[in-house]
Chains A and B, each alone.
Chain A
């Protein structure tokens, strides 16, 4: 074995080292003067010095910027007083760099290298106590879930373990009460579920095998079948039978839009784009893995959702990503961090890096998202990742395979990674989760996924398969189990290509190793498919075939290890019976006096974590790749204003576009989950209108993240929110096409339960006839008029303004969907006619924040008069008018020449001309009594907004 060190030439600035010194300083350790980060490669081979020189010179080191040495330690590492920490991946964690190094060695004609492992060596200069060193190591350098510290040079390649087949049967039929309870817990069944399973095996007259129970547990997991949403719920004296059917999908059914091509059936929801192309969209969550390993968890989150469009219909090309994160505030005190919980700043940085590294490498623009902060996300951060795909309209329907078609696994090899991810995702985290759940966390390999996408889109074009699905949560068990529901399937588990030896048949079956897709290939096409995959070095293996006996049969080395009825697997799960109650908390009403100068209040809100600029994150995502971004996430005179929605032109030769938007405001949920959901829908739609879209063809996605819904008050909140989804969407005429939920987001620490706020993300896609009608939110011309469109109410409950005062209040913003729709329709008409120069969604922070953002994004000043704001109810305080978060409002810029026509089109909609754009470089606002209440330069406002996340 050889060890190679690659490091920057010592006269060059080391951005990684400097970054580490900054991060250490953030831990309040100020005694570190310098840090050096060195890349280490361990090669499992005996090589000559000449060979090693060749490898270093030609492959691993850049001769201009880097030095290398092998089989010895650098002077810096040996120097007394320097601290050396070398961090390697644990055995079983597959690092994507290994594969690339192997390719590079092969290109250099170096053979005989059996294994490659990478590591990082950190040399820290300065005086540290052992305790400080440990803090640096634990908080910054090592994630014990996947990594460990090794002594430099003392590294050993893991031995490949052997596996000898032994069938494992579970004595379910002979089990006593205690044993039954153990089985129930091992496989995370509920009591009625276990009893149904037991009845099935009684009928079969035999005991189950372990892999059969694993298959049932996975197929029946909350993550995969949404038991809570399908449950029979007793609520408020009434029975709600299946929330999904009675609210969310009911909207779609009743609206019955002909442009909805495939809804709630496939891996993502599909709508028509232009008669020739179809668009599909899916948003997933990857919360639990991101809590314990932010980088890997988030990377595999985005990697997983990208495979949803790829596994929809006959396969769609991913064209954009969205991401929405919820974290605890980055300034959360280190010392208050519960045991087993990573600091929110580390989670934030890791998640951002994971999403960016994966999405950027795949060449999918990340164009829309949001980041929200609340202390209750401390132990349960939320990571929503979405992907939209584009496919020919004739490929939009889920494929139909035939008995005899071969089951082909395409893409990554299978390892022990992600085992029990589906059931892990459906469980509560504890402070032990970090140590027990390591197999649930994986490191993604984006290039394998890119290769899979490239090859499958070619195979799709050549008609080489009849059906496709992704291998996501639940692995092969889920993919083959679902595909084979109507036919039956047999799989030879020993034919699955493995990353390393030692996996037993059950692990192979349920592994959630990433970057895998399953396709159904007609036997006559298999040679062509395998040739195609080989031409681009993509792994493809025939692992079984679809049958016609409606049984799921699994074999390992010829031994049958499972024989399950598809009927029982998919239909045998008993419906849950749950209780829900409504719990409406009351908070103290605000009783503070109006501040004299609201400029400071404005800056406080602009600088709050939720409102402040997220440019630091957005810039690190590639939002230009594929060349389709027409309205970008950052807009304005210097490309740094907060755009509302994003507009994409998915087909270069057409002017037709798609708008992507999202609505989310968990703060409102602490007052009322119904109005939270209504507000989220209104917000997503407002953003679509704000960039020049309309409501004619808008589809919605729902993603619920909730606490433990086995608690009646949690479930009551969920029922309320789902009801609002129906009540709003039916009036707006916007069907739901896909959705997902993540429940049990609670954390137990020292006997205390922390539940996340009820969080509903509404994602929206809207079709736009001509992208050239898009508008952006930045003010354009001095002299233009500023209107508030929509009436303002005294709705400060859970507002950004009250939050800066440490208050919540009770007057949560409500929605009148019929009025809102009429308003939006009229505003769209005005925009289409070119009468609107700029338009901004009025959301967190109300009129004050929206106008401030429009001003500094456009590099222009503005003068406003609050007397001209049209009030829908009496408000006698300037601050409440300025910062009310009433829904269905927009700030609109109109040139003087267009005012008459604009006002005519708006008709009976409440609008108020509140001021004008000017070149003063200042935002000046006059209150109800004519006094100046805000006078701030746009530079100061922008600085307040940009400062918090300028990392």
Chain B
């Protein structure tokens, strides 16, 4: 059986592309890394792939606002293709800056033409970029393909603008795929368990189909057991908590 085909797109300032590629490779996919210009110039065909990934980083320096310029390019230069890609039943994953891009381009949650976006990702309440490990709970009622069968995970965040905010009527409870918790799984543990002040401790959301998933934390930085910050205390597992996200996606497109 042929491998799942993944396209990881990078833009000027993308910097977690290497880990996204590695994560999907570990999950058994065939991964292509392409520059956004290749997509804009149609040198790279989106429809050759089953999974489209926007990794973390500081696209265009995050000048103006995080992910904004890349979001506009996505929307204005190949927005139609993007929507067709999704409506065809393929998967889209946005991590950190990629999540910001999905939200600000109106892909997740979907903003219809002429509508104004109602949610956004904005400055952390702490006013700072912070790199720390967080516990995530998985919403069992969410249809998210990527988190199927998972209950929780321990993964790092590294961002300054990760606060999910706005009018929560734009989404429903089932769109909340992952949320911040404390070590024991309690959802309202406050800062720093919720590292940015996101409303309802939202760490990541998906669309109603569960095929578009965006999150601020970095599951691709916890693929190997030795990436866990406390492996010297707890013992090193072979694989990290983030790997199932990528395995789920690969499994799904292979129809297993």
> Which residues of chain A have a CB within 8 Å of any CB of chain B?
13, 15-16, 18-19, 58-60, 62-65, 96-97, 99-101, 103-104, 107-108, 356, 360-363, 445-447, 450-451, 454, 535-537, 619-627, 629-632, 634-637, 639, 649, 652, 771-772, 774-776, 778, 780, 858
Contacts and interface: CB of A to CB of B under 8 A. Distances in A.
Interface in B64-120: 64-65, 68-69, 72-73, 76-77, 104, 116-120
Nearest to A356: B129
A58 B124 CA distance: 22
Given A13-B125, A65-B120, A619-B132, A447 B165 contact: no
A492 to B, nearest CB: 29
B123 interface: yes
Interface in B1-20: 10, 12-16, 18-19
21 contacts: A15-B125, A15-B126, A16-B123, A59-B69, A62-B104, A96-B63, A356-B129, A362-B15, A445-B61, A446-B61, A447-B12, A447-B58, A447-B61, A536-B37, A619-B128, A619-B130, A620-B128, A622-B131, A627-B227, A635-B230, A776-B232
A101 B233 CA distance: 47
Nearest to A19: B127
B69 A627 contact: no
Contact of B230 (A103, A535, A637): A637
Given A361-B13, A450-B12, A627 B220 contact: yes
Contacts of A772: 226, 236
Contacts of A15: 123-127
Interface of B: 10, 12-16, 18-19, 22, 35, 37-38, 56-58, 60-65, 68-69, 72-73, 76-77, 104, 116-120, 122-133, 156, 158, 165-167, 218, 220-221, 223-224, 226-227, 229-230, 232-233, 236
B239 to A, nearest CB: 13
A906 to B, nearest CB: 21
Q: Which 3 A-B pairs have the closest CB atoms?
A: A363-B15, A15-B127, A100-B63
A64 B221 contact: no
A581 B225 CA distance: 55
A619 B73 CA distance: 31
A539 to B, nearest CB: 12
Nearest to A776: B232
B224 to A, nearest CB: 7
Nearest to A775: B232
Contacts of B124: 15
A858 B126 CA distance: 26
A463 to B, nearest CB: 20
A60 B236 CA distance: 46
A60 B218 CA distance: 27
Contact of A537 (B37, B38, B224, B236): B37
B120 A58 contact: no
B69 A64 contact: no
A96 B18 contact: no
Given A13-B125, A626-B19, 18 more contacts: A15-B124, A62-B120, A62-B122, A63-B117, A97-B61, A100-B64, A103-B60, A104-B60, A107-B69, A107-B77, A363-B16, A447-B12, A447-B58, A622-B131, A624-B156, A635-B232, A649-B226, A776-B233
A107 B120 contact: no
A65 B223 CA distance: 35
Given A15-B126, A363-B57, A537-B37, A624 B230 contact: no
B232 A774 contact: yes
A627 B18 contact: yes
Contacts of A104: 60, 64, 68-69, 72
Nearest to A57: B116
Given A18-B127, A536-B37, A772-B236, A625 B158 contact: yes
A103 B73 CA distance: 10
A624 B127 contact: no
B19 A97 contact: no
B114 to A, nearest CB: 12
A13 B124 CA distance: 11
A623 B131 contact: yes
B68 to A, nearest CB: 7
A58 B117 CA distance: 11
B229 A361 contact: no
Nearest to A317: B18
A627 B12 contact: no
A630 B230 CA distance: 10
B131 A621 contact: yes
A120 B62 CA distance: 17
A620 B129 contact: yes
B190 to A, nearest CB: 15
Classify the interface of chain B: helix, strand, loop or mixed.
Answer: mixed
A64 B125 contact: no
Nearest to A640: B132
A624 B131 contact: yes
Given A59-B72, A65-B122, A108-B72, A447 B60 contact: yes
Contacts of A100: 60-61, 63-64, 69
Contacts of B167: 64
A841 to B, nearest CB: 16
Nearest to B156: A624
Contacts of B229: 632, 634-635, 639
B37 A360 contact: no
A652 B22 contact: yes
Nearest to B124: A15
A552 B166 CA distance: 61
A56 B14 CA distance: 25
Contacts of B223: 627
Contact of A627 (B72, B76, B221): B221
Contacts of A780: 233
Contacts of B15: 361-363, 450, 625
B17 to A, nearest CB: 8
Contacts of A97: 61, 63-64
B133 A535 contact: no
A301 to B, nearest CB: 18
B165 to A, nearest CB: 7
Instruction: Name the residue in A451, A632, A778 with the highest tally of chain B Cβ atoms < 10 Å from its Cβ.
Output: A632
B188 to A, nearest CB: 19
B78 to A, nearest CB: 12
Given A450-B15, A639-B229, A778-B233, A361 B127 contact: no
A130 B240 CA distance: 58
Contact of A620 (B16, B68, B131, B230): B131
A64 B232 contact: no
A720 B199 CA distance: 60
Contacts of A62: 65, 68, 104, 120, 122
A50 to B, nearest CB: 15
A571 to B, nearest CB: 42
B82 to A, nearest CB: 15
B122 A64 contact: yes
B198 to A, nearest CB: 13
Nearest to B123: A15
B241 to A, nearest CB: 13
Contacts of A447: 12-13, 58, 60-61, 63
A552 B203 CA distance: 58
Nearest to B19: A627
B18 to A, nearest CB: 6
Contacts of A627: 18-19, 22, 220-221, 223-224, 227
A625 B126 CA distance: 21
Contacts of A451: 12
B157 to A, nearest CB: 9
A64 to B, nearest CB: 4
A774 B166 CA distance: 44
B245 to A, nearest CB: 14
Contacts of B133: 639
B165 A64 contact: yes
Contacts of A637: 230, 233
A94 to B, nearest CB: 13
Given A620-B130, A622-B158, A771-B226, A450 B13 contact: yes
